[in-house]
A = this chain, B = another copy of it.
Amino acid sequence: MAKTAVKTRPTPRKAAAQKFIYDFQEGGAEMRSLLGGKGAGVAEMTRAGLPVPPGFTITTEACLAYLESGGRFPEGLLESVRRHLEALETRSGKRLGDQENPLLVSVRSGAAFSMPGMMDTVLNLGLNRVTLEGLARKTGDRRFAMDAYRRFIQMYGRIVLGLEPELFDAEMELVKGAGGIKADSDLSSNTLEKLADKFRDTVQQQTGLPFPEDPWDQLTRAIAAVFDSWNGKRAIAYRDFNHIPHTLGTAVNVQAMVFGNMGNDSGTGVAFTRDPATGERRIFGEYLLNAQGEDVVAGIRTPQPIATLEQALPEVYQRFSEIAERLELHYRDVQDMEFTIEQGRLYMLQTRTAKRTAAAAVKIAVDMMAEKLITRDEALRRVEPEQVDHLLHRAIDPGAEVKVLATGLAASPGAATGAAVFDADRAAAMAKEGKKVILVRIETNPDDVHGMIAAEGVLTSRGGRTSHAAVVARGMGKPCVAGTESLHVDLARRRFEAGGVVVKEGDVFTIDGTTGRVIEGPVPTVEAGVSGDLEKLLQTADRVRRLKIYANADTPEDALRARQFGAQGIGLCRTEHMFMQQDRLPHVQRMILAQEKGEREAALAELLPFQRADFLGILEAMQGLPVIIRLIDPPLHEFLPSHDELLVTVTKLRDAKKGGKKLERAERMLHAVEELREQNPMLGLRGCRLGLLFPEIIEMQVRAIAEAASELRRKRVRAIPEIMVPLVGAAEELRRSRATIEATLKQVAKEEGIRFDVKIGTMIEVPRAALTAGEVAHHAQFFSFGTNDLTQMTYGVSRDDAEGKFLRRYVDDGILPSNPFEHLDPSGVARLMSFAVKEGREARPNLEVGICGEHGGDAQSIAVCERLGLDYVSCSPFRVPGARLAAAQALLEVGEKKDV
């Protein structure tokens, strides 16, 4: 299906005088938002005198004007293209459409944020049946010209005319099969010519129109196609995943072609100034001789490591090394460069800040800080807290016995286990059902991105460490093993074979992107600790940040891990998990079902030693750091058997007209469960409401805390428990809960003959608590925002129900900018928090305020907490290191302006 032809009409929005086009020598790095990353990069290189083929950039503003007018070029744009094209012709000494000395250009997208491979590029534009001959004559290489021509038709057909690439691939395979030809480079000039004819026929058949011969027509339609690609499905998906605004638009770069496929003194490659996987300081990259750029990126041929270029073309390599060093110094960051060598001459086509793995990001930041290339604050900003999270997860247990099926390239580190899936749509669908999958492809292309987003990891059988799969996976922080040549992928039968084992769709296996191993079955994983460069970086962050980092931990093991990760205390120790364990549950159930206080107290007395031991372990593990213990929170029916199972049992027993005692017991339990059952348990009898109705539960818990602290004191271990009351909505709830807590503490203190000085505070998780924080603070020594519940109630959204049913759709459709359970909602929830902080501190100036919802580990949310002036954030132990970094970044970002 052909795309619509280009239309032009005056756009009222912009004055005709607006400058829509910049020659490369006019631009610079600072014009990134107008010229896109690529345009700014080539301009900057041009300005620096580096060898860049000449060209010009059409601005993102032109793109937006085009998109907003529904696909019409803004007034004056085409005239301007023509002028800049003429300048380009002058500079290159060639003319577009000239039959003797034709100018060929590339037309490439380039947005302000790097979106590798997400948008469209057309190479060799300007070729037609006439210029083709000119090129052949000019280069003296008819085969080269024919190859360029067929490539152009293929690319133009796909990108501009919107045809399926398979149409061309099939023709190609046919021709190759007929000639017994393996590599594309073995195709003869004649064959290529026939192929080009066939491609043109295909275009005519599919679109009903001949392939456009007029180079100007080719150019304007290619520009329109690049503009349109901004709103392509895969571009939108990528931006959503990476939180890039959809309103930026893309620039278009029109640049004179240089050819890496003009023989063995030609070539093309991509390279990094440091290793983007490890961060090691050495030029790292790949190239192919006698090839065009697309061959490297698409992974069609497996490229050579850049180091071998030193042997192949020593002078070129030398020149390239110098340029690489210059660019890194210039940009003060690792560069990802594209280059082409045309008959021994080096051209730089692009430079941009390199994407890198988490480990590389950390090493590079620490190294560059040591090299004094960047400042401390810059180093802290160079690593994303999420990358730190990635570093701490998913390494294969070194002690585990694994069966390695194959080894590919370690393209993106980390281990992933999941079910094999062989296409992106299915990967996305299965992930939606909550399954963990690994996407297996021969190679990936931009159409696979949604599947990569959905997958735990990616495995390909072709392509290098700069192939599409590798680059995109690294950007996402997902494990990837690429170019696993011993892997036999059978897409049609949905299976792969490796090491004599067949893995079918749905079979679970493991990849280790750190080592490149493909491993049979699931594998035990271990988490990495904090050491080396990461430790250095985090210590730097610790010196900068203001926010304290606490952890949420309910067990001594978690508490210990939290401390190892640098937590300065426990911000949330839930007490009810202890009730769920098998040896305790019968007592808990007896407590719940008790008809009167005495019975309940007896059951609680049984629970006391368990709970005391739990607290003892956690307090001991934290060795004098504060441990904020939250009193029982969930609704009681959570501790009872499932209602539906009981109903089925009772129905069956009744039906069978037997049962006797068994039926009676089941009926009694069913009745009890029905009594406690709630329509909206999240808003029911839970939190402090439980303790106000059954103070004896609080008394038992507080006694357990106090007795544990007392025992540790005897053992000369410092213990700092603090007690937190959940789900307070009215100050009076807290006042009364606190009275019970204090009475119990006093009682135990008297029994033990010691003094306790235990802080008592409250969760702020009910909107009303935030709205009346001034009153609540009279009774609280600290506030801890429970932002999970606070978000649920502020949005009126039950997370359990919503995430599957409509929240994802809301985010996908842009109704919400992000999932408010991942990133703290800055307008609604944070506004409530800001009332609470302000009014709480007015009432009690030394009020300590923190957050213990899951947002506590999220960098965006931590930035909000810094702006709100909180004292601490508390998150799961694994997120503590990332939070340490995020807190430092937040402080740098907020600086002195602390108003929200």
Is there an interface contact between A678 and B814, defined as CB atoms closer than 8 Å?
no
Is there an interface contact between A682 and B683, defined as CB atoms closer than 8 Å?
yes
Flag whether A245 is at the interface (Cβ < 8 A): no
Minimum CB distance partner of A648 in chain B = B651
Q: Which of A64-72, A200-208, A302-310, A801-809 is the contact stretch?
A: A801-809
Q: Which of B678, B692, B732 contacts A798 (CB 8 A)?
A: B678
Q: Which of A35-43, A292-300, A525-533, A787-795 is the contact stretch?
A: A787-795
Residues of A412-454 at the interface with B, using a CB-CB cut-off of 8 Å, are none
24 contacts across the A-B interface (CB closer than 8 A): A644-B647, A651-B651, A651-B652, A678-B800, A679-B681, A679-B801, A680-B680, A682-B683, A683-B792, A683-B798, A684-B798, A685-B802, A692-B813, A727-B796, A729-B828, A733-B815, A766-B794, A767-B794, A767-B828, A768-B795, A768-B825, A771-B827, A771-B828, A793-B794
Interface size class of A (residues with CB under 8 A): 35 or more
Q: Give complex CA distance A192, B766 in Å.
A: 66
Chain A 657-674 interface 0/1 with B at a Cβ cutoff of 8 Å (1 = within) = 000000000000000000
Contacts of A730 in B (CB 8 A): 795, 815-816
Is there an interface contact between A828 and B685, defined as CB atoms closer than 8 Å?
no
Flag whether A772 is at the interface (Cβ < 8 A): yes
Is there an interface contact between B684 and A805, defined as CB atoms closer than 8 Å?
yes
CB A733 to nearest CB in B, in angstroms, measures: 6
Q: Give complex CA distance A832, B733 in Å.
A: 21
CB A852 to nearest CB in B, in angstroms, measures: 17
Contacts of A684 in B (CB 8 A): 798, 801-802, 805
Flag whether A900 is at the interface (Cβ < 8 A): no
Q: Which of B771, B792, B798 contacts A832 (CB 8 A)?
A: B771
CB A434 to nearest CB in B, in angstroms, measures: 15
CB A554 to nearest CB in B, in angstroms, measures: 22
Is there an interface contact between B767 and A793, defined as CB atoms closer than 8 Å?
yes
Chain A 445-483 interface 0/1 with B at a Cβ cutoff of 8 Å (1 = within) = 000000000000000000000000000000000000000
Interface of A is mostly: helix
Contacts of A810 in B (CB 8 A): 692
Contacts of A692 in B (CB 8 A): 806, 810, 813, 815
Contacts of A689 in B (CB 8 A): 806
Is there an interface contact between A679 and B796, defined as CB atoms closer than 8 Å?
no
Residues of A801-837 at the interface with B, using a CB-CB cut-off of 8 Å, are 801-802, 805-806, 809-810, 813-816, 825, 827-829, 831-832
Is there an interface contact between A798 and B680, defined as CB atoms closer than 8 Å?
yes
CB A597 to nearest CB in B, in angstroms, measures: 15
Flag whether A170 is at the interface (Cβ < 8 A): no
Q: Give complex CA distance A678, B800 in Å.
A: 8
Contacts of A772 in B (CB 8 A): 827-828, 831
Contacts of A794 in B (CB 8 A): 729, 766-768, 771, 793
Flag whether A736 is at the interface (Cβ < 8 A): yes
Instruction: Give the top 8 A-B pairs by smallest Cβ distance, nearest first.
Output: A768-B828, A683-B798, A680-B798, A766-B796, A684-B801, A678-B801, A680-B680, A651-B651
Flag whether A329 is at the interface (Cβ < 8 A): no
Q: Give complex CA distance A801, B825 in Å.
A: 28
Given A793-B796, A814-B732, A816-B730; A801-B768 close (CB under 8 Å) = no
CB A900 to nearest CB in B, in angstroms, measures: 13
Q: Which of B800, B809, B814 contacts A680 (CB 8 A)?
A: B800
Is there an interface contact between A683 and B796, defined as CB atoms closer than 8 Å?
yes
Flag whether A174 is at the interface (Cβ < 8 A): no
Q: Give complex CA distance A825, B732 in Å.
A: 14
Minimum CB distance partner of A683 in chain B = B798
Q: Which of B652, B680, B766, B829 contacts A681 (CB 8 A)?
A: B680
Q: Which of B648, B789, B816, B825 contacts A796 (CB 8 A)?
A: B789
Minimum CB distance partner of A768 in chain B = B828
Is there an interface contact between A685 and B733, defined as CB atoms closer than 8 Å?
no
